[in-house]
Amino acid sequence: MSDVILEAVNISKRYQQRRRPPIWAVRSVDLALNSGQTIAVVGESGSGKSTLGRIIAGVLPFDEGTLAISGHRLSQVDAKLSRGLRRSVQLIHQDPFAALNPAHTVGNILRFPLNAMGIKSADRVRERVQDLLSSVGLTPPNRYVNQYPYQLSGGQRQRVVLARALAVNPKVLVADEAVSMIDVSMRQNILGIMKQLQVDYGLGIVFITHDLALARNFAQRGQTIVMYAGSIIECGSTEQVIQEPLHPYTAMLRDAVPDPDPTKAMGTLVPISSETPDLTWTREGCRFAPRCPFAVTLCVSSTPSLTSYTGEHSVACHRASLGVSWAMESEKKVT
């Protein structure tokens, strides 16, 4: 296994409210990413996955914990070194059109980060721009250099975003719902390009998505983290988490994905209720308990910790830690 290139320890982010408890967007999250590794971060809206991604990419500050890139803790380096380290982690936005300045051509969009890195020679910049466009499948590159974002399709714009991220020679890409706004017919193409870039450049990728099936597709040989109400509730190899989920929330997310084979039976689990999680929750108990059809008294009186269950597969669920199968029989919900 390669060395850890990105490590987050006990990362928390909260938003203060007047006369109300703070909103906890991320609570005590640990994450370690190796070179060439993919970690998928999965959860519904409000789970904290995008906030975590922006923290890792340096877009948002965090309130507690430590963040290290290539062994350097960002809080312990000077500002100049910090900027250099921040370039090592690049964010791929959900909306490729909003991520690109409509007033600039593709050539200028790629030229700016190269100039910022000290590449000033016009010939060298031109050569590098062409290489970047070719690496993301925009060929011949001269066809795209003088085009504006509005002249490109959604898939082409996202490739330009990828090319811009590669311009600063990153070690990590944080892909936040990177294909959710792209036509379904183009998604596999973009994902294939990202996988190839990972191989070519040894990139570590944090792949953020609400779609468990998409996570399985992209991070099949990597790891998957499931988040709920700002916390990690399950993590492990992608196949373990999806094939043998230990947390009812993970299983419900999996069973909510339609099966393309109409002859297969639907999932037997109770669907997730539409009740939104309480992000101001500070009392004892599992934060998923109000929505969990398998909650028992212990679930509302004690907060489960993320505990290793088998190998690298960990879960924050009392029933799993007690060796009780929540999938066998639904007990009366405790509120």
Q: What is the pLDDT of residues 137-170, one digit of tens each?
A: 999 999 999 999 999 998 999 999 999 999 999 9
The Cα 138–Cα 163 span in angstroms is 10
Which pTM does this prediction carry?
0.89
The kind and range of the H/E element at 321 are helix 318-321
The reported pLDDT for the residue numbered 320 is: 79
The reported pLDDT for the residue numbered 37 is: 95
Q: What is the mean pLDDT of residues 202-209?
A: 95
Burial class (CB in 10 A: 0-12, 13-18, 19+), 77: middle
User: Virtual CA dihedral for 249, 252, 256, 258, nearest 10 degrees?
Assistant: 130
Inter-residue long-range contacts of 247-250, CB under 8 Å, 24+ positions, other chains counted: 247/288, 247/315, 247/316, 247/317, 247/320, 248/288, 248/292, 248/293, 248/294, 248/317, 248/326, 248/327, 249/288, 249/291, 249/292, 250/212, 250/226
Which residue in the block uniquely carries the two structure tokens 């039976």? 265
The Cβ of residue 69 has, within 10 Å, a number of other Cβ atoms equal to 24
Contact 304, 294 (CB under 8 A): no
The reported pLDDT for the residue numbered 166 is: 94
The reported pLDDT for the residue numbered 280 is: 84
Which of helix, strand or coil describes residue 67?
A: strand
Q: What are the beta bridge partners of residue 6?
A: 33, 69
The reported pLDDT for the residue numbered 132 is: 96
DSSP code, position 308 = E
Tell me the torsion sign for CA atoms 120, 123, 125, 128. negative
pLDDT band of residue 272 (cuts 50, 70, 90) is low
Q: What is the mean pLDDT of residues 302-319?
A: 88
The Cα 199–Cα 220 span in angstroms is 15
Q: Which of 35-44, 115-124, 242-251, 326-335 has the lowest mean pLDDT?
A: 326-335
3-state DSSP helix/strand/coil % of the chain, to nearest 5:
35, 25, 45
Q: What is the mean pLDDT of residues 4-26?
A: 92
pLDDT band of residue 194 (cuts 50, 70, 90) is very high
The pLDDT > 70 percentage for the chain reads 87
- How do residues 26-77 score in pLDDT, each as one tens digit? 999 999 999 999 999 999 888 999 999 999 998 888 999 999 998 888 765 5
| Helix pair 122-135, 106-116: axis angle to 10 deg | 120
C-alpha angle 121-122-124 in degrees, rounded to nearest 5:
65
Beta strands in 93-187 (DSSP E): 172-176
The one-letter code for the residue type at 237 is S
The one-letter code for the residue type at 103 is A
The Cα 17–Cα 19 span in angstroms is 6
The Cα 180–Cα 195 span in angstroms is 17
DSSP code, position 143 = G
The pLDDT > 90 percentage for the chain reads 56
Contact 35, 70 (CB under 8 A): no
pLDDT band of residue 1 (cuts 50, 70, 90) is very low
Q: What is the mean pLDDT of residues 71-84?
A: 70
Inter-residue long-range contacts of 124-133, CB under 8 Å, 24+ positions, other chains counted: 128/167, 132/163, 132/164, 132/166, 132/167, 133/106, 133/160, 133/163
The reported pLDDT for the residue numbered 108 is: 95
Residues 6+ apart with CB under 8 A from 122: none
The reported pLDDT for the residue numbered 67 is: 92
Mean pLDDT, the chain, rounded, equals 86
Helix and strand tally (H, E) in the chain?
A: 11, 12
- How do residues 231-267 score in pLDDT, each as one tens digit? 999 999 999 999 889 999 998 888 876 666 555 544 4
